[in-house]
Amino acid sequence: MKEKIFDFIDNSSDLAAELEIGLCKYPAISPESGGEGELDKCEFLAAWLKAHGINQLGRYDAPDPRAKGGVRPNLVATIPGKNDPSGKNPRFWVMSHIDVVPPGEASFWNSDPWKAIIAEGGVRSDGTLLGKRVIGRGVEDNQQGLCSSVIAALALVKQGITPSRTVKLLFASDEEIGSVYGLQWLIKNHQDLFQKNDMAIVPDSGCASGAEIEIAEKSHVWATFTTKGIQTHAAHPEHGANAYLAGADLTVRLHYELSEKFSDRNPLFDPPCSTFQPTKKEPNIPNINTVPGEDAFHYDMRILPSVSVDDVFKEVDRIKAEVEARHKVTIEYKIDYQTESPPTSQDSPLVKFLSNSIKEVYKVETKPIGIGGGTFAAYLRKLGIDCAVWARFDGTAHQPNEYALLDNILGDAKVMALMMISE
């Protein structure tokens, strides 16, 4: 059976390229980033799946009046497993997302980012040769994982092979902006989709060898700080309260004092510490010779699982109060995004199955890692579902001339197919 599956996948290069090229035509960009959402891309994908024999589809639309059609669609494909007529036995999920980030500066692209092309030849920056690849926005993040999951499922469906457990493929919206209309919405409104004994792979991060299995994520917080003072002429700063100066003081103190206070180290992560970084700065006044009365900036915090987010914000409140008193301003903050979750055990059946499958396909020894970036695996882990983030990526996501190697798509499909038939 395994040989039949692998033969099918080895002969699916053209099929993978067809799906990648088809998906790339639809710029599934969130309204926050100036797009219309994922509807057109989701409808294309659903039609493509049905045309190729994956017929058991369910669509779950999160309302969003800003998006085309007023919805952010989430698509679930089901391949029923052995002895599971009710679908209540543990299921195996592969969860990818259909939204993408904008292409960025057009002059940095060597081709149209929305018209995927197939290329051969070339070398990486380290001098190693590149294989046959598809180039376009979204082809690696996250269409590589999406295509791998589909090819793996088709290897079973097309040959009449029933998986050991029911397989669920999720194609979610809104991952790039926080999954408010994607997995978070599904968990809140359709929690019956998920069971605590399910297992899930999220093919949304990885390394070039395929050896790294992500089992833990740092808690992830985005916060906006707004400082309110008194606007005045810059020649008489004593008549006002400089909101920009107070904000700058707060910015620096948060970075250094939080980093010193929460200095735990965990070698599972790179970097092995919590990070507290000021990022986006909002404009305040248009001219130079006025002391601003209001100022705002944003912070990105990646916090080790051993550190309590509540404890971090108790310290934020202490620093904030001292800055307010020093500069005679008021400071408010709001949490724009927050996620935290427990790690998946490296001894879990999921990680063992995945590790064995990777070794069989790619002949590499695997290692568990943690990451600072956020994926929607965190939401699953909070539900008690074992989840691993894994793929064999060249790491071109969000870059100009983003590409996905066809060998990676097919190799990862083999890994996923082995997981689908594992007892």
The one-digit pLDDT tens for each residue of the chain (423 residues) are 899 999 999 999 999 999 999 999 999 999 999 999 999 999 999 999 999 999 999 999 999 999 999 999 999 999 999 877 666 678 999 999 999 999 999 999 999 999 999 999 888 877 888 899 999 999 999 999 999 999 999 999 999 999 999 999 999 999 999 899 999 999 999 989 999 899 999 999 999 999 999 999 999 999 999 999 999 999 999 999 999 999 999 999 999 999 999 999 999 999 999 999 999 999 999 999 999 999 999 999 999 999 999 999 999 999 999 999 999 999 999 999 888 888 999 999 999 999 999 999 999 999 999 998 778 898 999 999 999 999 999 999 999 999 999 999 999 999 999 999 987
**57 shares its domain with 146:** yes
**194 shares its domain with 305:** no
In a domain, 245, yes or no: yes
**197 shares its domain with 224:** no
**Distance (Å, whole) CA 38 – CA 143:** 13
Nearest 5°: CA angle at 328, between 327 and 330?
A: 105
In a domain, 349, yes or no: no
Catalytic residue among 38, 140, 174, 175: 175
Number of domains in the chain: 2
**Distance (Å, whole) CA 257 – CA 124:** 40
**37 shares its domain with 153:** yes
Catalytic residue among 20, 38, 61, 99: 99
Assigned token pair, 376? 């929607």
Check if 40 is active-site: no
Q: What range defines the domain where residue 282 resides?
A: 219-339
Which of 339, 355, 383 is the last residue before a domain boundary? 339
Give me the half-sphere count of Cα atoms (radius 13 Å) on the Cβ side of residue 227.
Answer: 34
Check if 175 is active-site: yes
Report the predicted TM-score, pTM, of the whole model to 2 decimal places: 0.86
**81 shares its domain with 128:** yes
In a domain, 356, yes or no: no
**6 shares its domain with 147:** yes
C-beta atoms surrounding 311 within 10 Å:
12
Element (H, E) at 367: strand 367-371
**Distance (Å, whole) CA 378 – CA 375:** 6
Which of 312, 339, 366 is the last residue before a domain boundary? 339
- CATH number of 301's domain: 3.30.70.360
In a domain, 210, yes or no: no
**23 shares its domain with 153:** yes
